[in-house]
Amino acid sequence: MIKKSFLLFLLIFVNIFSSNISHSPEDIEIEKLKQEIKLLQNKIKKLENKKIEKFKEEEKQPKIGLVLSGGGAKGFAHIGVLKVLEANNIKVDYITGTSMGALIGALYSAGYTPNQIEKLVLDINWQETFNDSPNITDISIDQRSMMKNYNLSLKYDNSLNFALPKGIRNTQKIYLTLKNLLWNVEQTRDFKKLPIPLEIIATDLNTGKAKAFNSGDLAQVITASISIPTIFDPVKIGDNYYVDGLLSRNFPVEDAFNLGADIVIGVDVGTSLQKKEDYDILSVADQIVAIQSTSSTKKQRDLATILIDPDISNFKTTDFSNFKEIEALGEAAAKKQLQKILAFGPKPNKRKSSLQYKNNFVLENIDVITETKNNNHKEIIESLFKDSIGTNINPDTLEKLMLKTYSLNFVNKIYYSFKNNTLKLQVEENPTNIVGLGVDYQTDYGTTFSIGTDISSFGKIGSLSTIEATFGDYLGLDLKNFSYYGVSNKVGILSSISYEENPFFIYHNKNKIGSYKSQVTKLEGAFVTQYSNLFLFSYGASLNYASLDPEIKNIFDSSIQYSKSYGDIFFNINWDKTNSIAFPTKGFKGEVSQRWGGNLGKDNLNFLSTNYLSSNYLPITETTSLTAKFFGGNIAGDDILPDKYIKLGGLSDDLSHNTFAFSGYYFQEKYLSSLFGVSLGIQQKLIENLYIGANWDFATYKFANEVFNDDKNSLLWKDYSQGAGITLSYLSLIGPVKFNISKAQESHDFLFQFSFGYKFD
C-alpha cells in the first residue's frame, strides 16, 4: 500500500515538473520555429516540384533561331519582321546575321526593341557615316592651310612604296557609330553571353570562306560583315582581312542550327538575279552582289524551317531613303508566315528592352599599339588624350577623341577597347606622304593643271614640305617647308621659294580692253604660331622680282607694264572651323593680311596694304544654312604696282592676290584702292553633295588712281555696287563644280560663270 502510494506520488510529481519545463518561454519559441521550418520545407518542396515541371515544359519548347540576311538598305525589312515577332510575344533564342542583317541582329541581340532600332536607323546620317572622311574641323589648321587639295592623289612612304587604296571608302566612322550604339555590351566579348546569343558571318579575304564570329570586338566584327569589297576597306581582325559575308554565306541558316536552334525563321532580303534590258552603275552593283551571294543562298533557303521572303525586288541595296516602305514590306511578309510560326507552339514571352543607361568610366591609363611602333606617332596620340586622364568618359566624348585621332595624317583606322579603366588603342597606319594631280578651271581665268607632293614627318618635332608645279594657261613652281614643335599649339619656321604667273585684265564699261601676264619670283621666310588648332599667325618677310608684260595691250595706256624688285614684311592671321573645304554648311573661317613693302632700286615704290575676309555659315535646318561674308581692304603708297591693287569680281576669293568675288562682275573687273563689302545668302542641300544657293552682295569702294579706271574720283561710302546671284554647286569625286548666274545693279545683262576643281595658290 505504501509502495503504491509512493509510486502514485512520484508520477504526479514528474508530470507536474515536466509540465513546468515544456511551457518555458524558450521551449515555446523553439516549437514555433520548428513549425515554421516545417512549413518552409514544404514550400521549398512545392517550388522545386514546380521548377521541375517548368523545366520539363521548357525542354518541350522549341528553340527558335532567327536568321537575317544581308542586302544593304533592303535589310530595313528585318525591323518590320522583328516588330511582328515582338507583337506576338515570340521569343528568339538565337540570332545569326550577315551584313545589314548582322547590324540589325546585333542591335536586337544587345537589347534594343524594334521601335528603338527603327529610331536609330532613321536618326543615322547614312551618307555622312559612309562618307567616312575625317572631320575637317579636327584636321590641324596648318595642314589645311599648306597641304593642297588634289583631284586625285596617292600616298607613299619614304621608300617610295605607293599605297593603293583598298576601297573607295574607309570604315572608321561606321565602326565608331557602332561602338557608341553598342556601348552597353562593350565589355561582352563572348557573343553567346549577349541577351540573345549571336553569331555574325564575314568572308575571309584570303580563303574566300565564310567565318562565323561568336566573340571579339562586336562593332569591329559587324564592320567586317558589311564591308562590300572595293567599296569599303577590308577589316583586319587578328592576322586576317575580312569583307562582306554576302560573298560566302549571305543567309546563314546552318549557323543558327549549329548554335542550338530547333526551328529557324529565315528572313532573306538578298538581291536575286534579274534579267534587265539596260543597266546603270547601281543596278550593275546590285547584279554583282546577287551573283556572288546566289550560289550559297539556295542551299540555306532550303534549310530554313520557315522562310520570310519580303517583296522588295523594286528596291536597290542603296535605297536608304526608302526606309518606311521597305520596313512595311518586311512586316507584311512576316504576318503571312505568322500562323506557321505559331503552329510550332512557341511559348509567349513578352520581351522588354534590356538596355541600361550608358555609364561613364574613369579613364586612368592609355595603351597605344601602332603597327610601325613609331614613338613619335604614339606620343602624338597620347597627347590628344592627356587632358582626359583621370576624368569620367562617356561614349560621346570618347567618339570625339577617336575622330580627332582619325584626323591625324598617319592614322588609317583606330579600334579601341577598355578594361579596368585602361583604354587600349589599336592603330593601323598610313604612309604620310602624298602625290597628287589637280585641275582648275574658272571663267575668264582659264585652265591650270597641277602636280605636286606633300612630304610629312609627324611628331612633336615635325615638318611638312610641299613641292608643286603648275602648267596650262599659267605656269608656276612652289617649294615650301614648315618645321615646327608642338601638337595642338605649335611654333615653327616657314620658308619658301616660288615662281608664279597670273592674269591681269583691264575692263572699261564691262569690256575687256587689255590683257597682261604677271610674273613673280619670290623668296619668303616667316615665323609661324598655331594656337589651339584654331588660329594660325605668321609674320615674316619676302624678296620679290616681279614683271607685268602685255598679251593684249591696254588701248588707253601701255605704260603699266613693269619689271621691278621689291621687298615686304607681312603679318597674317588665319582661322578656320568650317565643316567642309568646298561647300561649308556650318562654322566660320577668315583671314587678315597686312603687308608693308618698298623698292630695292632707285624708284619711289612703297605700299601698305590690308585685306580681310570673314565667312560664316549658320545651319537653320539639316539641309539649309544662312551665309554671311564680310570682306574688304585698303592699299596706299607711291608708285603702287598696278596688279597689286584690290580686284573685285569673279567666283572666288583669294587674299594672296588681293582678289574678292562679287556677283555680276567679271573676274578682276574693278580695280580699287579701298573696299568694304558684305555678302548675305542662303544655301540649300538638294541631295547629297548637290547644293543650290542664292546671295546678295553689296560693296562700297574707291577706285585705284589709274588711267584705265572708269572713275578715278570715286569715294568710299559714296560709290557702291550691288549684285545678286544663284549658284548650283556639286562636290564630285574629283573636285567641286560651280555654275553661277548673276547680275550687277548697273548691268542690264546676266553673267554666266563656271568653275571646276580647287584653286591652286
Q: What is the pLDDT of residue 20?
A: 46
Burial class (CB in 10 A: 0-12, 13-18, 19+), 752: exposed
Q: What is the pLDDT of residue 16?
A: 46
Q: Which of 99, 518, 721, 729 is catalytic?
A: 99
Query: Please, what is the average pLDDT of the chain?
Result: 86
pLDDT tens for each residue of 653-679: 999 999 999 999 999 999 899 999 999
Q: Which CATH class is domain 435-757?
A: mainly beta
Task: Judge whether 262 counts as a catalytic residue.
Answer: no
Q: What is the 3-state secondary structure (H, E, C) of 83-139?
A: HHHHHCCECCCEEEEECHHHHHHHHHHHCCCHHHHHHHHHHCCHHHHHHCCCCHHHC
CA separation for the pair 709, 718 (Å, rounded) = 17
Q: What is the mean pLDDT of residues 384-401?
A: 88
Q: Tell me the percentage of the chain whose pLDDT exceeds 90.
A: 52
CA separation for the pair 414, 424 (Å, rounded) = 10
CA separation for the pair 419, 369 (Å, rounded) = 15
pTM: 0.81
Structure-model confidence comparison of residues 510 and 239, the more confident one = 239
CA separation for the pair 105, 107 (Å, rounded) = 5
Q: What is the mean pLDDT of residues 35-59?
A: 65
Q: What is the mean pLDDT of residues 192-218?
A: 94
**DSSP codes joined into one string, 150-169:** -SEEEEE-TT--EE--SEEE
pLDDT tens for each residue of 625-657: 999 999 999 999 888 888 899 999 999 999 999
Q: Is the pLDDT of residue 600 over 80?
A: no
Band (502; pLDDT cuts 50, 70, 90): very high
Structure-model confidence comparison of residues 616 and 140, the more confident one = 616
**DSSP codes joined into one string, 380-396:** HHHHHHGGGTTSEE-HH
Q: Is the pLDDT of residue 135 over 50?
A: yes
Q: What is the pLDDT of residue 290?
A: 63
Tell me if the domain spanning 361-429 has CATH number 3.10.20.310: yes
**DSSP codes joined into one string, 613-680:** EEEEEEESSSSEEEEEEEEEEEEEEES--GGGSEEE-BS--BGGGTEE-BTT--TT-EEEEEEEEEEE
CA separation for the pair 353, 113 (Å, rounded) = 6
Do 64-132+171-271+304-343 and 361-429 fold alike per CATH? no
What residues does 454 pair with on adjacent strands? Answer: 434, 466
Contacts of 256 (CB under 8 A, 6+ apart): 65, 66, 67, 94, 95, 96, 199, 264, 266
Phi/psi class of residue 671: alpha, beta or left (left: φ > 0; alpha: ψ in -120 to 50)? beta
Contacts of 357 (CB under 8 A, 6+ apart): none
Q: Can you give the residue ranges of every domain in the chain?
A: 64-132+171-271+304-343, 361-429, 435-757
Q: For 63, which DSSP code? A: P
Strands 690-703, 670-687: parallel, antiparallel or unpaired by DSSP? antiparallel
Q: Is the pLDDT of residue 10 over 60?
A: no
**570, three cell numbers:** 607681312
Q: Is the pLDDT of residue 598 over 50?
A: yes
Task: Judge whether 653 counts as a catalytic residue.
Answer: no
Q: What is the pLDDT of residue 435?
A: 93
Q: Is the pLDDT of residue 13 over 50?
A: no
Cell 568694304 -> residue: 676
Q: Which of 142, 233, 244, 653 is catalytic?
A: 244
Q: Provide the strand spans (E) within 272-393.
A: 306-308, 361-362, 365-370, 392-393
CA separation for the pair 367, 378 (Å, rounded) = 9
Q: Is the pLDDT of residue 295 over 70?
A: no
Cell 572631320 -> residue: 135
Q: Is the pLDDT of residue 286 over 70?
A: no
Q: What is the mean pLDDT of residues 65-87?
A: 93
Strands 306-308, 263-267: parallel, antiparallel or unpaired by DSSP? parallel
Tell me if the domain spanning 64-132+171-271+304-343 has CATH number 1.10.8.350: no
CA separation for the pair 677, 697 (Å, rounded) = 7
Q: How many helices (H) and strands (E) does the chain have?
A: 16, 35
